[in-house]
Amino acid sequence: MAKVVFLGLGVMGYPMAGHLRTRGGHEVTVYNRTAAKAQAWVEAFGGRAAPTPREAAADADFVFACVGNDDDLRSVVLGPDGAFAGMKPGAVFVDHTTASAGVARELQEKAAALGLDFLDAPVSGGQAGAENGALTIMVGGDDKSFAAAEPVMNAYAKMIVHLGPSGSGQLAKMVNQICIAGVVQGLAEAIHFAKSAGLDVEKTISAISKGAAQSWQMENRWQTMTAGKFDFGFAVDWMRKDLGIVLDEARRTGARLPLTALVDQFYADVQASGGNRWDTSSLISRLEK
């Protein structure tokens, strides 16, 4: 059992912190910007809530965070009330936020100067993966920090991969989002084409889903896409945030991502039609207006 902290109790962080208690058996302190959410978590799982990241992090062995973006991450890590100000030397900070590789390297340098360890560890698997404790975690950082944190992260993971130095986890998550964007757009066009051609969509998907066209998106989203139901899952706003990070990094490295840039604009169209909180599979809605 370790003393652990979880900062950020959104749709991902809330169940992840819960697994640290129920599966991991750890002593857990939580912090959330909305204090009522932290208190609700304590009532559900035990442990305790703290009023600031600094107070939460005091005497912790591991501090985990899952917040919205680079600025949100800095707000809970840095400054007089940030987690770094309260962490003891040798403690490990594990960031599960999908953020930029640049902020990961920045915070790793600041952590090292304070005698702390830092891992960037974005996750894939969505809300269902968090609730089921079946996330894939892509990790950047040094070997020692990874070896220490891996057994704790196992409480909510089905796969954990150490990819290299700081920033590597975030870069791998960008690869993940590039793949998803392209696959969802392809599936949207395929279903739209099948319907336009007068095919039975269910029979068509049944025929092609056992071959090379098969994907997680096809298996889990074709029915809701066909029915025009999008009030669940990974929101378009979040995907646009992630693709913005991807495209910024591509400009920095010189990588050419024409399809990703195009799909990003398609998601902007969905936002303009009011689909900000729709699932990312709502790309099909552009084709069926």
Residues known to be catalytic: 173
Q: From the CA atom positions of the chain, what is the Rg in Å?
A: 20
Own/partner contacts of 10-14, CB < 8 Å, gap of 24 or more, are 10/66, 10/67, 10/68, 11/127, 11/130, 12/66, 12/96, 12/123, 12/127, 12/130, 13/65, 13/66, 13/67, 13/96, 13/130, 14/41, 14/130
| 168: nearest Cα among 104, 118, 217, 107 | 104
> Which residues on neighbouring strands pair with residue 273, listed in sequence order?
none
**Whether 283 contacts 262, CB under 8 Å:** no
- How many whole angstroms separate alpha carbon 157 and alpha carbon 58? 26
| 260: nearest Cα among 175, 174, 181, 170 | 181
**Whether 230 contacts 281, CB under 8 Å:** yes
**Whether 91 contacts 163, CB under 8 Å:** no
What's the chain's length in residues? 289
- How many whole angstroms separate alpha carbon 10 and alpha carbon 98? 13
